[in-house]
Amino acid sequence: MQYSTVILAALAASGSLGAPLDSRQVEAGSQTNGIRITLEDQSVELGRQFTINGDGNAEVRVAVGEPEKFAAINVSLGDNISNKELRCQARGLDDQPIVGKRGPDDKPNIDVNFSDAGKGPWTFLTGKQVVKEVVCSPEFKKITPEKLAEGQQVLVHFRKEKGDNQPFTIPVNPAAEKSTPSNTNEQYKTVEIEVGKFTDPQSIRCQVFSDRRLTRLVRGQRGENIDTSFADGDKGEWDFLVHRNGQWVSGQSKVRGVFCSRQIQQKNAAGNA
Ligand X SMILES: *[C@@H]1O[C@H](CO)[C@@H](O)[C@H](O)[C@H]1NC(C)=O
Asked whether position 100 contacts ligand X by CB under 6 A, the answer is no
Stretch that binds ligand X, among 117-125, 217-225, 242-250, 258-266 (CB under 6 A): 117-125
**Strand-pair category, 187-188 with 219-222:** unpaired
Asked whether position 200 contacts ligand X by CB under 6 A, the answer is no
Number of residues that bind ligand X (CB under 6 A): 25
Binder of ligand X out of 63, 68, 80, 194 (CB under 6 A): 80
Give 96 or 221: the residue with its C-beta nearer to ligand X: 96
Give 144 or 247: the residue with its C-beta nearer to ligand X: 144
Q: How far is the CB of 122 from ligand X (least distance, A)?
A: 10
Stretch that binds ligand X, among 107-115, 159-167, 180-188, 247-255 (CB under 6 A): 107-115
Asked whether position 152 contacts ligand X by CB under 6 A, the answer is no
Asked whether position 196 contacts ligand X by CB under 6 A, the answer is no
Give 45 or 211: the residue with its C-beta nearer to ligand X: 45
Distance CA 258, CA 273 (A): 24
Q: How far is the CB of 234 from ligand X (least distance, A)?
A: 21
Give 113 or 190: the residue with its C-beta nearer to ligand X: 113
Binder of ligand X out of 73, 90, 112, 136 (CB under 6 A): 112
Asked whether position 143 contacts ligand X by CB under 6 A, the answer is yes
Distance CA 155, CA 158 (A): 10
Asked whether position 237 contacts ligand X by CB under 6 A, the answer is no
Asked whether position 203 contacts ligand X by CB under 6 A, the answer is no
The site for ligand X (CB under 6 A) is made up of 1, 3, 26, 30, 33-34, 38, 53, 55, 74, 76, 78, 80, 111-113, 116, 118, 120-121, 139-141, 143, 147
